[in-house]
Amino acid sequence: MPVKIVTDSGADLPDQLAKELGITVVPIYVRFGEEVYRDRVSISEDEFYERLTHDPVHPSTTQPGPQDFLEAYQKLSADADGIVSIHISGKLSGTCNSALMARDMLETGCPVEVIDSETLTMSLGLIVIAAAEMAKAGESMDKIVEWVKQAIPKTYLFALLDTLEYLKKGGRIGKVKALLGAVLSVKPVLTMKEGELVPAGQARTRAKGIDKLFDFVENAGNIQDLAIVYNTTPDEAQNLAERLGSVFNTEKIRMARLGPGLGVHGGPGAIIASFRKA
């Protein structure tokens, strides 16, 4: 029997791709006041960003509970040799803890390995995709787990945000707080370090910020997988992908949309370059 791959909606995997690869995605919860939605299940990206920019109530997020993961594990364990469950950074979300609790509650005897990716959005997604392709090719659970753990420190993320206000409101500002005193017109560029968001620079204009994303990718070298993530500016994302054709085969660049679970904190206008090196 094959190994099954599980992740959470913080991976921002395109739905069709997750289905094709047999990846189980456990959704994050998004709350507008008393209204609670499941990321991409009961609220779409378009609906969410419309409300984010117009609703007077600022949304919040909650990680999936242990029961959410337990139900997924129970369903998959019926015809799996093992389950590899890979999730967004434990320093930014309690999702990994919920998965670990569910693993300990599972009574089917199916082995479950829970892995903290120390990253998020398609940086996590690229790891999950490769793990799912390995599982589909019949690789063992041990080999998949070993590969994932080796891939984590080789996977990078650079994000251009339009503002830090949403990170601040969501309580995820962390080490990025140092940028809050910058001139309002400055656009922050962030990256991940040891599971936390940290400053990677800033740009005077949005166009220069996108240039910085291009430079980070161009100078990385030896890129194996590359994704561009956007939420409200698809044309900018497509233009960046086309520019990156000089660095990486444009046809192989994965395009994804930042979902509600992370969009709460990133705010509109976010654009992200995620890549994995050999």
Task: Identify whether residues 121 and 210 lie together within a single domain.
Answer: no
Mean of pLDDT values over 16-41: 98
What tokens appear for 219 in the block? 């100078």
How high is the pLDDT of residue 32? 97
Of 163 and 127, the structure prediction assigns the larger pLDDT to: 127
Task: Identify whether residues 236 and 178 lie together within a single domain.
Answer: yes
How high is the pLDDT of residue 244? 97
Q: Tell me the β-bridge partners of 256.
A: 229
Q: How confident is the model at residue 120 (pLDDT cuts 50, 70, 90)?
A: very high
Beta strand extents in 91-148 (DSSP E only): 112-116
Q: How many domains does the chain have?
A: 2
How high is the pLDDT of residue 176? 64
Q: 74 Cβ partners below 8 Å, 6+ apart? A: 106, 108
Mean of pLDDT values over 77-88: 97
Mean of pLDDT values over 31-57: 96
> Residue 127 pLDDT > 60, yes or no?
yes
* Spatial separation of the C-alpha atoms in residues 249 and 237, rounded to whole Å: 15
Q: Among 136, 152, 168, which residue terminates a domain? A: 152
Task: Identify whether residues 126 and 236 lie together within a single domain.
Answer: no
Mean of pLDDT values over 81-92: 97
| pTM of the shown model | 0.95
Task: Identify whether residues 94 and 232 lie together within a single domain.
Answer: no
Task: Identify whether residues 18 and 111 lie together within a single domain.
Answer: yes
Query: Would you say residue 91 lies in a domain?
Result: yes
* Spatial separation of the C-alpha atoms in residues 226 and 229, rounded to whole Å: 10
How high is the pLDDT of residue 185? 64
Inter-CA distances, 112 with 13, 60, 87, 143, Å: 21, 29, 13, 14
Task: Identify whether residues 161 and 127 lie together within a single domain.
Answer: no
Counting residues of the chain whose pLDDT is more than 90, the rounded percentage is 89
* Spatial separation of the C-alpha atoms in residues 231 and 21, rounded to whole Å: 23
* DSSP collapsed to 3 states, 26-95: ECCEEEECCEEEEECCCECHHHHHHHHHHCCCCCEEECCCHHHHHHHHHHHHCCCCEEEEEECCCCCCCH
Residue type, 47: E
Mean of pLDDT values over 100-104: 98
Task: Identify whether residues 165 and 267 lie together within a single domain.
Answer: yes
Query: Would you say residue 198 lies in a domain?
Result: yes
Q: Among 93, 122, 152, which residue terminates a domain? A: 152
Model confidence pLDDT, tens digit, residues 234-275 = 999 999 999 999 999 999 999 999 999 999 999 999 999 999
Domain of residue 160, CATH code: 3.30.1180.10
Model confidence pLDDT, tens digit, residues 181-227 = 554 568 999 999 999 999 998 898 999 999 999 999 999 999 999 99
Query: Would you say residue 119 lies in a domain?
Result: yes
How high is the pLDDT of residue 214? 98
Average pLDDT, the chain: 94
> Residue 6 pLDDT > 60, yes or no?
yes
Q: Which residue from 237, 231, 233, 260 is spatially nearest to 44, judged by alpha carbons?
A: 260
Range of the domain at 143: 3-30+60-152
Q: Among 152, 170, 200, which residue terminates a domain? A: 152
How high is the pLDDT of residue 84? 98
Query: Would you say residue 232 lies in a domain?
Result: yes
How high is the pLDDT of residue 167? 82
